[in-house]
Amino acid sequence: MSAQIDDIIARALAEDAPWGDVTSEVFLPAGATASAALVAREPGVFSGGDVFARVFALVDPDTTVELGIDDGEPFTAGAVLARVAGTARAVLRAERIALNLVQRMSGIATLTARYVAAVDGTGARVVDTRKTTPGLRVLERQAVRDGGGRNHRFSLSDAVMAKDNHLAVLGASGVSVGDAIRRARARLGHTVHLEVEVDRLDQVAEVVEAGVDTIMLDNFTPDQLREGVALVAGRAIVEASGGVNLDTVRAIAETGVDVISVGALTHSVRALDLGLDVTVL
């Protein structure tokens, strides 16, 4: 995990200053030092403290970062979340990348916490999807956990998940969903999870009876979800997907589903407003 994070940061730093920070190098004395405070401009839930600190360490190992809050903790506007000290060149070189990452991670954690709070007491789990920023999945998935959510499969290699397009290909090939599930079961190792998406109630019985671990009910109304949960009758995990937002998630959770997947946690989240206030020493 740490190697993945270092790789993300290294690529971001190389993108931001491929041949160095020419502004700081020509304007700032080499020996100038600075301190900075990471300050919240709005309330939220913190995520990415170690990532924030690691950016500064990779720019200059002598830069010090003191975190004032743990990942997953809420904070108010005006709170000082971290303090940084080092050469002015190093602090300013790392500033934008460190902010970009911690702002996005904290935005995801904050939004996730709102969804988790909305389903409190129902027993439903809020999970993310693969609708992540290319290259940043490991960070965005951490942010979801920091917000109290859970992670879906990390990649296409982690589980079998047959969705609508897979089923369309099967139908065109003359293969029934039930037969495809049974064939998959015969080929898979016993540790591999098998999930199938359906978009109609009349598909539920065949899919569950064929032996899936999870059935995803896609774009079902709350009444349809209740009926789907009753049809499954505890024989598989029931996941709801589609049409999920903060206005609808509570009603979806109250239908008895086990899992609610929310693409919005990562694909359209707003970065939280955090600032790095720099003081020259």
Domain boundaries, the chain: 2-116+269-280, 119-267
Q: Is residue 96 annotated as part of the catalytic site, yes or no?
A: yes
Catalytic residue chosen out of the listed positions 83, 114, 130, 131: 131
Q: Is residue 223 annotated as part of the catalytic site, yes or no?
A: no
Picking from 216, 204, 201, the residue whose alpha carbon sits closest to that of residue 257 is 216
Buried b / exposed e over 245-259, threshold 16 CB at 10 Å, is eeeebbebbbbbbbb
Catalytic residue chosen out of the listed positions 114, 163, 185, 250: 163
* Residue 187 confidence (pLDDT): 93
Catalytic residue chosen out of the listed positions 71, 128, 195, 197: 197
* Residue 146 confidence (pLDDT): 98
Do the domains spanning 2-116+269-280 and 119-267 agree at the CATH topology level? Answer: no
Catalytic residue chosen out of the listed positions 50, 60, 73, 96: 96
| Contact between residue 280 and residue 39 where contact means Cβ atoms under 8 Å apart | no
* Residue 18 confidence (pLDDT): 94
Which CATH architecture fits 119-267?
A: Alpha-Beta Barrel (3.20)
Phi-psi region of 211 (alpha: psi -120 to 50; beta: other; left: phi over 0): left
Q: Is residue 250 annotated as part of the catalytic site, yes or no?
A: no
* Residue 1 confidence (pLDDT): 64
- The Cα-based distances of 19 to 15, 16, 101 in angstroms read 9, 9, 21
* Residue 96 confidence (pLDDT): 97
* Residue 171 confidence (pLDDT): 79
Q: Is residue 187 annotated as part of the catalytic site, yes or no?
A: no
How many CA atoms does the CB half-sphere of 85 hold within 13 Å? Answer: 5
Catalytic residue chosen out of the listed positions 206, 218, 227, 258: 218
Under CATH, domain 2-116+269-280 is a member of which superfamily? Quinolinate phosphoribosyl transferase, N-terminal domain (3.90.1170.20)
Q: What is the mean pLDDT of each run of 10 residues along the chain (281 residues)?
A: 91 95 92 96 98 98 98 98 97 97 98 98 97 96 98 94 88 86 92 95 95 97 98 98 97 98 96 94 69
| Contact between residue 236 and residue 215 where contact means Cβ atoms under 8 Å apart | yes
Q: Is residue 114 annotated as part of the catalytic site, yes or no?
A: no
